[in-house]
Structure 1
Amino acid sequence: MRRQKRDRLGRAHSNGYQAGLNGKSRDNCPYQSIDAKSEWLGGWRAAVNDRNTGLFK
């Protein structure tokens, strides 16, 4: 059970990261669950930060 939860949250983080890299707004978060939404936003923030520091163009 824990592995499934971790995988789901990891997937949410990775989807948020991809959204951030593609320049999508944080309002586009598809998750309703607090945990998944938090992970998605964390990934989104990391990607926006990486884009702003020049890691991706």
Structure 2
Amino acid sequence: MPQLNPAPWFFIMLATWLTFTLIVQPKLLSFVSTNPPSDKTPTTYNITSWTWPWT
């Protein structure tokens, strides 16, 4: 059964992951985010509960 022979597929998988982690990933992580998180504090609203007429 040739699909049980890991010789060519293991090298292809290893080469793919090494390419991704050493070349592609640093290039992707070097991009500047177009929407950086802001340091604004979230606004809180004064919410009053609804007064039901039958209570």
Normalising by structure 1, report the TM-score: 0.36
Q: Higher relative contact order at CA 8 Å, sep ≥6: structure 1 or structure 2?
A: 1
Q: Which has the higher helix share?
A: 1
Normalising by structure 2, report the TM-score: 0.37
